[in-house]
């Protein structure tokens, strides 16, 4: 009865006919809509269980497949199919090289200066927990900044052992203080890697002398940090490999940089002095070898010369002796005269002084016969010549 009240008012058979036609049209429309919806749902279900399970694995990642939560397989780069979620879930693990920069031991002022936030200024003290630094084996302070390059070599171990974000390709989860909403830390694989690296750096630095860590044996220092860190990574067996670990910077505190620079300057000065002395030694050694050779060569020449001279003299003597034996006096006179005449030819000034009536000689000699200074005119004449 009430239905009749709600029905639109129609008149007689004509009204009933219109109503029925409307109902039929609505029924057909709903039927068609239902069929379409059913087809759509069927299509979606079919698509879901066929094409919906395909996925691509990129070269820089590996995929771990979980079926009902259990890890069942791992895939390298390629195209694969597995039952879609919720039956299977694929976890993408990055296997490309990842970089982690460790600034925990770097001066806060330096970090800000590097970022251009403020000028590099040295405070009188360092604030523990804010200004990162390290204590060396000789109880000095240094700042270091490290760059680690690592890669995942065993994605299964990495995923199963190391706390990862739900999507391991993402960065570590940030931990936020619920009161002041400040970031108080992170949670994830990089947090663990960073903590292990910090531990290795502290241990390696704690046995180093400040000079050794800063410049004398910084290579050994770096090698020691790497050795300790690689040992940790191997011991933990979390499927990682250290590709490279280098110190981006190792420096003395800003306050003491000038003092360290002075040491470097002094060391350079020391090295320069030593090198100069070594150069002197090399020069002297060369000269000594040269002089020693000359002395020996002179002696050799002397030896040859004296023997040659005496041989020549012997020949000369033999020939003179033959003549001497024939006529001793005339030979001697001839030799004497020839010698005297030859000698006097070369003598510049000769004075022959006869005896006076008393049979005595008076000779007055002006010493130093050659003038010490030439007259100016004479000099000019010589120049003209």
Partner 1 sequence: MSGKDKLKILQHWPTLLLGLIVSVIFLFAIFTFQVKSTESVVITTLGKISGVKEAGLHFCWPYPFQKVHRFDNRYHCFDGSTGKIEETYTADGQPIVAGIFVVYKIVDAEKLFKSLAIPDISQAEDKINSQMRTVKNAVLGKFKFEELVNTNPKKMKIDEIETEMKKGISPIVLDKYGIQVEFVGIKVLNLPDKNTENVFNRMKAERNVVAEQFRADGKSEATNIRIQADNNRKLKLAEAEAQAKQIKAEGDAKAASYYSIFKEEPELAAFLRKLESLRKIIPNKTTLILNTDYAPFDLLKLDQNLSSDKEAKKTK
Tokens of 31: 């039927």
Rounded Cα gap, residues 223 and 229, in angstroms:
10
| CB-CB contact of 258 with 164 (8 Å) | no
105 Ramachandran zone, left/alpha/beta (phi>0; psi -120 to 50):
alpha
Helix H or strand E encompassing 66? strand 61-67
Sign of the alpha-carbon dihedral angle for 309, 312, 317, 318: positive
Tokens of 90: 């694929």
Rg of the chain taking only CA atoms, in angstroms: 55
Q: What's the min distance (Å) between Cβ of 50 and partner 1?
A: 15
Q: Is 284 in the site for partner 1 (CB under 8 A)?
A: yes
Q: Is 136 in the site for partner 1 (CB under 8 A)?
A: yes
Q: What's the min distance (Å) between Cβ of 93 and partner 1?
A: 12
What is the total count of residues that contact partner 1 (CB under 8 A)?
133
Q: What's the min distance (Å) between Cβ of 240 and partner 1?
A: 12
Q: What's the min distance (Å) between Cβ of 15 and partner 1?
A: 30
Q: Is 199 in the site for partner 1 (CB under 8 A)?
A: yes
Of 213, 240, 237, 241, whose CA–CA distance to 225 is shortest? 213
From residue 342 to residue 371, the character string flagging contacts with partner 1 as x (rule: CB under 8 A) and all else as - is xxx-xxxxxxxxxx-----x-x-x---xx-
From residue 91 to residue 120, the character string flagging contacts with partner 1 as x (rule: CB under 8 A) and all else as - is -------------x----------------
Nearer residue to partner 1 within complex by CB, 15 or 189: 189
DSSP state of 359: S
Angle at the Cα of 218 (from 216 to 224), degrees rounded to 5? 130
Q: Is 306 in the site for partner 1 (CB under 8 A)?
A: yes
Nearer residue to partner 1 within complex by CB, 16 or 293: 293
Interface pick for partner 1 out of 19, 25, 332, 379 (rule CB under 8 A) = 332
Q: Is 288 in the site for partner 1 (CB under 8 A)?
A: yes
């Amino acid at each position: 009865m009430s239905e009749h009240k709600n029905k639109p008012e129609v008149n007689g058979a004509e009204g009933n006919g219109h109503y029925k036609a409307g109902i039929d049209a609505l029924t057909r429309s709903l039927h068609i809509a239902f069929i379409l919806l059913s087809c759509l749902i069927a299509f979606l279900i079919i698509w879901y269980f066929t094409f919906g399970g395909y996925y691509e694995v990129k070269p820089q990642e590996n995929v771990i497949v979980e079926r009902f939560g259990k890890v069942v397989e791992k895939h390298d780069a390629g195209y694969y199919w597995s039952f879609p979620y919720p039956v299977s879930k694929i976890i993408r693990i990055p296997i490309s090289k990842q970089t982690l920069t460790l600034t925990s031991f770097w001066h806060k002022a330096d970090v800000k200066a590097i970022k251009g936030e403020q000028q590099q200024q040295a405070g009188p003290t360092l604030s523990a927990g804010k200004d990162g630094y390290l204590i060396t084996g000789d109880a000095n302070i240094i700042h270091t900044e490290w760059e680690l390059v690592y890669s995942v070599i065993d994605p299964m171990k990495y995923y199963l052992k190391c706390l990862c974000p739900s999507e391991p390709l993402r960065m570590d989860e940030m931990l936020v203080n619920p009161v002041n909403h400040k970031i108080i830390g992170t949670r994830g694989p990089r947090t663990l890697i960073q903590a292990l690296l910090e531990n290795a750096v502290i241990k390696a630095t704690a046995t180093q002398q400040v000079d050794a860590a800063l410049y004398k044996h910084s290579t050994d220092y770096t090698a020691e940090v790497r050795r300790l860190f690689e040992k940790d990574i191997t011991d933990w067996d979390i499927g990682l490999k250290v590709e490279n670990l280098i110190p981006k910077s190792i420096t003395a505190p800003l306050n003491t940089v000038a003092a360290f620079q002075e040491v470097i300057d002094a060391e350079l000065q020391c090295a320069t002095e030593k090198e100069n002395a070594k150069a002197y030694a090399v020069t002297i050694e060369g000269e000594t070898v040269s002089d020693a050779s000359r002395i020996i060569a002179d002696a050799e020449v002397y030896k040859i010369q004296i023997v040659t001279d005496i041989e020549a003299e012997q020949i000369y003597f033999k020939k003179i002796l033959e003549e001497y034996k024939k006529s001793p006096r005339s030979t001697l006179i001839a030799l004497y005269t020839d010698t005297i005449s030859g000698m006097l030819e070369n003598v510049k000034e000769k004075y022959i002084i006869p005896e006076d009536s008393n049979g005595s000689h008076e000779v007055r000699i002006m010493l130093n016969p050659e003038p010490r200074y030439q007259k100016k005119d004479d000099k000019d004449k010589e120049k003209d010549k």
